Amino acid sequence: MPDLRAFSSLTQLNLSANNFTGSIPVSVGQLAKLQLLDLSHNSLEGLVSESHFIKHDKLNTLDLSFNSLIFDIPLDWSHLYQLKTLYLARCNVGPYFPKWIRFQRNLSFLDLSGANIADEAPEWFWNSFSLLQNLYLYDNQIWGTIPNLSFTSIEFMDLSVNHFSGSILLFPANADRIYLSGNMVSGSISSICKTHLISDNQLSGFLPNCRSIFPTCTLPIWLTTVFSGEIPASFGNLRNFVSLHMHGNNLSGELPYNLRHCQELRFIDLGGNNLNGEIPTWIGRLYNMQYLILRGNKLHGSIPIEICHLTNIHVLDLSLNNLSSIIPGCFNNFTTLASKNASNLDIPCFGSIYFGNLSFHWKGRDLEYKGNLGFLKLIDFSSNGLIGNIPKSFAHLRGLKSLNLSRNSLSEYIIPNIGKMEMLDSLELSS
């Protein structure tokens, strides 16, 4: 990076996403009128000290993220008091929690993800930023308990992949997204009615009956823990939520009738529970459905013909149940499975939605799928009591990658046009 002292009138300096190397010149600290400094996504290295900000009394946005910088700033340093946004992701800020940040009282956005912090989150940290709306602490080794945050202004918080523990308390009422995966949080889930995403911890208890109507655009409900009881009928009030992931819990009862109102649902994973009853006919009204996973429950009866209305379906997994009917012959309606192209998974208001790491049964094994879900096209009806012949309509599914009809009571013959399923990578017809 060059010496920029000659540009004394600069108010914004954005050199992000280039190939700059070496250290940040201390002369940057002489640009007294600077309000924005963005050097992110380069290959910068070396120390960052208070000398780099000595005259930055007007700086409100600082982004040094995704560089190999090492912060060497005194604990009691109280400069940069005008900062509103601070991005230090993937910089070496640790190992101790940076105490100098407590003096940045105007922060609305703080990103310390992957910052090599291996320390307890101090009590002052949760109480210092009354204006904070976005907090990223992802991928550190921070420990401690999460206090009652209901009084804060936080709308988005990512604390995942740390060592937080203790009981989950109240989150802000206006929180849009809360990520807690990869911690050791435990306790009840009284906050779930006000939180749009909680994942992968030791939470337990019965699902609460949330009666509030969520905002126009809502994110997934993601509960991979040890919940029991029935799925609350009030989930049907969440008319615009897009993903319901409660795999591997202890849920019982039938699918609540009110879920038919959730027309924006793209993803349902209720596999590995104790759900009973029949697959409801109203499931065919969820026209935007892309992933329907009911694997490993106690469902019985028939596969309703209405399921063929799910023309956008990518994954249809009804395996390991007690289904005992013929397979409907209308699967030629599945236009997405008939296409050999990958599909767009964009969600209104959120773009490409985050589904996390998902497990699918593939070639006799449960494999974790970490991305590119638009390429995954699968039908699994194995381990049921299905009877009759294999429908000829399967031959229309030229984009299908995996078809598993094994361990049923199917008869007659293998359909003559099975060779038209050009993309088929796994075919199981055993037993």
- More confident of the two residues 176 and 305: 305
Alpha-carbon dihedral sign for residues 165, 167, 173, 177: positive
207-431 has the same fold as 1-124: yes
Residue 29 parent element (H or E): none
Q: Are 194 and 214 in contact (CB under 8 A)?
A: no
Lowest mean pLDDT among 335-344, 395-404, 416-425: 335-344
Q: Are 268 and 275 in contact (CB under 8 A)?
A: no
Query: Is the backbone peptide bond immediately before 95 cis, with ω within 30 degrees of 0?
Result: yes
Residue among 157, 119, 118 nearest 138 (CA): 157
Distance CA 28, CA 56 (A): 9
Distance CA 77, CA 51 (A): 11
| Tens digits of residue pLDDT in 362-399 | 777 776 665 566 678 999 999 999 999 999 999 999 99
Q: What percent of the chain has pLDDT over 90?
A: 52
Distance CA 154, CA 18 (A): 32
Domain segments of the chain: what residues?
Answer: 1-124, 142-204, 207-431
Residue 223 clears pLDDT 60, i.e. is over it: no
Question: Quick one: pLDDT at residue 169?
Answer: 60
Q: Are 168 and 146 in contact (CB under 8 A)?
A: yes
| Tens digits of residue pLDDT in 271-283 | 889 999 999 999 9
SS (H, E, C) 387-423: EECCCHHHHHCCCCCEEECCCCEECCCCCHHHHHCCC
Tell me what the mean pLDDT of segment 311-332 comes to. 94
Torsions phi, psi for 284 (to 5 deg): -70, -10
Residue 13 clears pLDDT 80, i.e. is over it: yes
For residue 74, the SS3 value is coil
| Tens digits of residue pLDDT in 344-365 | 655 443 333 444 456 667 777 7
Question: Quick one: pLDDT at residue 219?
Answer: 46
Pairing assessment for the beta strands 109-111 and 85-87 based on DSSP bridges: parallel
Residue among 350, 346, 295 nearest 177 (CA): 350
Tokens encoding 255: 């699918």
Strands in 291-293's sheet, in edge-to-edge order, are 221-222, 243-245, 267-269, 291-293, 315-317, 378-380, 402-404, 426-428
| Tens digits of residue pLDDT in 42-80 | 999 999 999 999 899 899 999 999 999 999 988 778 787
Q: Looking at beta carbons, which pairs linking 356-364 to residues 24 or more positions away fall under 8 Å?
A: 356/181, 356/199, 356/222, 356/245, 358/269, 359/247, 360/315, 360/317, 361/295, 361/317, 361/319, 361/404, 362/402, 362/426, 363/402, 363/426, 364/428
Q: Are 267 and 294 in contact (CB under 8 A)?
A: no
Amino acid making up residue 108: S
Torsions phi, psi for 326 (to 5 deg): -80, 160
Check: CATH 3.40.50.300 for 207-431?
no
1-124 to CATH, choices 3.20.20.60, 3.80.10.10, 3.40.50.150, 1.10.260.40: 3.80.10.10
Alpha-carbon dihedral sign for residues 214, 215, 217, 219: negative
Torsions phi, psi for 52 (to 5 deg): -70, -10
Distance CA 254, CA 269 (A): 14
Q: Looking at beta carbons, which pairs linking 146-154 to residues 24 or more positions away fall under 8 Å?
A: 146/185, 147/123, 152/126
For residue 166, the SS3 value is strand
Most confident of 121-125, 152-156, 240-244: 121-125
Residue among 253, 237, 235 nearest 245 (CA): 235
Distance CA 82, CA 91 (A): 21
Distance CA 159, CA 242 (A): 22
Q: Are 383 and 359 in contact (CB under 8 A)?
A: no
